Structure 1
């Protein structure tokens, strides 16, 4: 088992923590599951992730939390509306809650419900795939940011070296001019 990290949190780790927690909020999952997921990715304990979230990161993402909660409510509302529509179609198809239902009517009704459940499962799977794609793109973005910072550091050093070279050349030119005079 790998050792758990205890070093300082980076900004990228804070962003990852926030993204995962917000995704879990949107999906109706628990924050504890989000902390466990982040902990595995960062080699930190779930408790450390939870502490970081509650003590620092959450304060910076209040609007994101509210938005995620609204999105979760909206998805739940749409799902409930679909289920109510299914109940209405049962009533409209002249099915009654007594023994007068025919086996064919019951089969048709259950087949429709099964199709809707399959569609919902497909939407959930697509959402999970998109979530993973977002995570991958976020990781790629973070790598690009690191490379950019490295190149920027190299550029700054080259610029400093160039200025030093120009300064030395200017001093040499002045010395040459003074020696001629």
Structure 2
């Protein structure tokens, strides 16, 4: 916040105040904005600048103030005229059938190009989708085939395992029979002879 100066106003201060205030009047701004600008430059308050302008400086610039107001009016007229000219030009351009038709044609051509590009992109996506669906169907078929082979392999394994167990049992039974035969052959068989009457009798060693 600018500090308030207590010293008296100089001629240069009054001149700066007048120049800035007249410029703001000429440009259509407010005197308050002018006082704030001067206050910032001189280190005074806007209220002090306003009081100085109204009490001392303004009466020395009555003619300059009138000229600045006239210039402001002329500037405002030129601005309004320019705005009206631009508005009329825009209105004429919009109401011009040829211009409107050209705009419509340009829009349709742009829309046609965008539609063609979109259609091309859609076809590409549809092709990619079809390829992905074909790949998925192939993978499903391969999966089913592998699943069938696994089931067949498990069935074959179960059958071989059963046959193997049966073979082990047969081999175990044959081994036991062989052991019994060996035991029987190791024992000496009794010997018999026929007597004169035709009867058999055991002959001991």
Between the two structures, name the one with larger relative contact order (CA 8 Å, sep ≥ 6).
1
Offset at 1:29?
Answer: 1.0
Which structure has the greater CA radius of gyration? 2
Q: Cα gap change, 1:2/1:94 in structure 2, threshold over 3 Å: closer, same or farther?
A: closer
Query: 1: CA distance between counterparts of 2:90 and 2:2?
Result: 55
- 1:12-67 Cα shifts (integer Å, max 9, x gaps): 10000000000111111111111111111111111000000000100000111111
Match of 2:103 in 1: 104
Match of 1:43 in 2: 43
Offset at 1:6?
Answer: 1.5
Match of 2:79 in 1: 79
Q: Is the 8 A contact 2:39 2:46 kept in 1?
A: yes
Match of 2:61 in 1: 61
Q: Cα gap change, 1:48/1:94 in structure 2, threshold over 3 Å: closer, same or farther?
A: closer
Q: Cα gap change, 1:37/1:102 in structure 2, threshold over 3 Å: closer, same or farther?
A: farther
Question: Number of matched residues?
Answer: 102
Match of 1:170 in 2: none
Offset at 1:86?
Answer: 1.7
**Runs of at least 4 residues off by over 4 Å:** none
TM-score normalised by the chain length of structure 2: 0.45
Unaligned runs of 5+ in 2: 105-205
Q: Cα gap change, 1:102/1:46 in structure 2, threshold over 3 Å: closer, same or farther?
A: farther
Unaligned runs of 5+ in 1: 106-181
Q: Cα gap change, 1:40/1:102 in structure 2, threshold over 3 Å: closer, same or farther?
A: farther
TM-score normalised by the chain length of structure 1: 0.51
Query: 1: CA distance between counterparts of 2:3 and 2:82?
Result: 48
Query: 2: CA distance between counterparts of 1:82 and 1:3?
Result: 43
Query: 2: CA distance between counterparts of 1:102 and 1:28?
Result: 42
- Pairwise CA RMSD: 2.4
Match of 2:175 in 1: none
